[in-house]
Amino acid sequence: MISMRFSRWAFALSVGLLLIVSSFGLPASIFAEPVQEETKAGNTIYHDYGELTADLQAIEFAYPLLTKLESIGQTWEGREIWAMKISDNVDIEEPDEPELFFNGCHHAREWLTVEVCYWFIIYLVENYTSDPTATYLIENRQIWVVPMVNPDGREYDGGAQGDEPSSYQNWRKNRRNNGDGTFGVDLNRNYGYMWGVSGACSDTSSEVYGGPSEFSEPESQACRDFARNHSFVGSISFHSHSMLILWPWGWSFEEPPDNEVLSTLGVEMSNNITNLAGSSSWPYTPEQACGLYPTSGGDIDWLYGELGILAYVTELYPGGSDGGAAISAPYNRFHPREDKVIPVVLDNIPGMVCMSMIADNPNQIIDHIVLTPNPDSQLINQDTTGYYMITAHNDGKRTDTFDITSSGPSGMTINHPNAINLLKGGSMNFTLDVTVPAFYIGGDYTIWINATSQTNPSCHYGTQVTVTVPFYYDTAIVSHSPFVENGQYPQGSIDMTAEVMNLGQADLDPFNLTCTISQMGASLPNPVFTEDFETDLSQWTIHDHDQSQSSSEWKLDPAAHNGV
């Protein structure tokens, strides 16, 4: 048990109040009591920067085999941006274990986001070995948490009271000195994917000012470099408020390429989030981020657009229809009264668990199949049949039957099964036979193979193979030396050699070769020498190719080819 700063907030987090994870085949989690009654260093359950730093260091000290604390960068004012890893082999990067990234406090006044991240760490380490879900995640995932992306802004917002939610500046941005009497950049408008497009603002006094350039801020740079150095599968960036679950794109109303997975997982997370906070706006609304309002420079667009991470924003309590004393003066919607903190934490940890559980295969929540050809390209002669082995893997949510179809160039014969049945998680191989007719024109041809679910026709997957048909008559100069296209050649003798190869399927009758050398000029190339190697030596004379300014002598060694 960690000894944490805390007074009247000792509590037990119980099974019936928290996790709904039965759909993933694991029992609901039980929270051990994470804190003990003792004198608290601060005034409230909220963490200011100093308190968060001390508590993260205490966790690392208490759980050195499960946690690792490191700085991923520094702010304008020199504060460390802390990241904590939670895993059973915390000092080892394990490529077979999916990585996840949770962060809070991009916006300084959104204090609840720090607490959701912090207490998720507590849940994991306090319940390792005693709770199956926490144990499974620690032993099979690499989880990284950055509770406070914007320490400078958070410290400014808290002012002298630090962690008292009734005393705040309502500050959103970081603390960059803009040099014109204004301060701050909105960190969640400063990421580099489609920066400065939709909803961008260049007014330095605006709350949504996106900065002088993409990734101009040390905080967004730190998150960028941190994400690039890892292989995150999923990410949740916590914000408040409105009780929403948002996924890319924020900058565009177009659906993202992975919309089915993103939207389905968004709904799953919403279904798992409870309502201990007592909100009249529950449940959390899942939607594409642009549905709230178009934005550019957000972290989820960059994480997904550049790195392919399934990235979400969770907007916490309160919702739009909520009211009451907990979010009324002297408190507000960004600084709820502290008795709302633990209920909001309890409500949202199930969503984090939901994402973490499916990270080994995000497709497990949708209907999905993958086709992999071997080989994906081969040479097939005319009047011959070639064979491709196609591996089909059902990594979707259920057992299904898939129709197999194909399309290819006219005249080729293509054979394969009409349908295959695959168990959930199952794989099978089938053969794709391709017969090329006699005298078929040489070239590269593409054949598409498609699998479509009989249960859900919107589930389909296509792959392709290439058939290379050799030309019946085909010759090529396969090497030439020392010739370089558009090269410059000094005065004097130059020996040139070339190798000609028959690449076709038939013996060739005698054929002619012609060598043409051209001088590159200001206009079209000027042929200065042509030789067919067959007729005679008449071409091997002095050729005046630059209007009598000089002469070039071209010599041929008759012994090399007996003059023919």
Q: Which domains does the chain have, with CATH numbers?
A: 15-364 (3.40.630.10), 370-469 (2.60.40.2310), 475-560 (no CATH)
Q: Could you read off the pLDDT of 19-78 as tens digits, one per residue?
A: 333 333 333 433 333 333 333 345 799 999 999 999 999 999 999 999 999 999 999 999
Measured CA to CA in angstroms, residue 286 lies from 18, 262, 396 at distances of 20, 10, 22
- How many Cα neighbours within 13 Å face the side chain of 76? 19
pLDDT score of 543: 46
Say if residue 505's pLDDT is above 90.
no
Pick the more confident residue, 7 or 552.
Answer: 552
pLDDT score of 466: 98
d(CA 322, CA 326): 10
pLDDT score of 536: 60
pTM over 0.85: no
Say if residue 406's pLDDT is above 50.
yes
315 carries an active-site annotation: yes
Among the listed residues 124, 51, 134, the one whose alpha carbon sits nearest the alpha carbon of residue 84:
124
pLDDT score of 26: 37
d(CA 242, CA 249): 18
Q: Could you read off the pLDDT of 318-357 as tens digits, one per residue?
A: 999 999 999 999 999 999 999 999 999 999 999 999 999 9
CB atoms within 10 A of CB 422: 21
d(CA 512, CA 405): 47
pLDDT band (50, 70, 90) for residue 109? very high
Q: Which residues pair with 475 in a beta bridge?
A: 502
Indicate the range of 37-41, 399-403, 425-429, 538-542 predicted with least confidence. Answer: 37-41
Report the sign of the C-alpha dihedral through residues 295, 299, 301, 306, in that order: positive
pLDDT score of 558: 46
- Residues 528-550 have a mean pLDDT of 57
Region of 358 on the Ramachandran plot (φ > 0 left; ψ -120 to 50 alpha; else beta) = alpha
| Averaged pLDDT of the chain | 87
Query: Based on C-alpha coordinates, what's the Rg of the chain?
Result: 34
Report the sign of the C-alpha dihedral through residues 74, 200, 155, 100, in that order: negative
Pick the more confident residue, 532 or 26.
Answer: 532
> Which of the following is catalytic: 99, 115, 164, 315?
315
pLDDT score of 160: 87
pLDDT band (50, 70, 90) for residue 115? very high
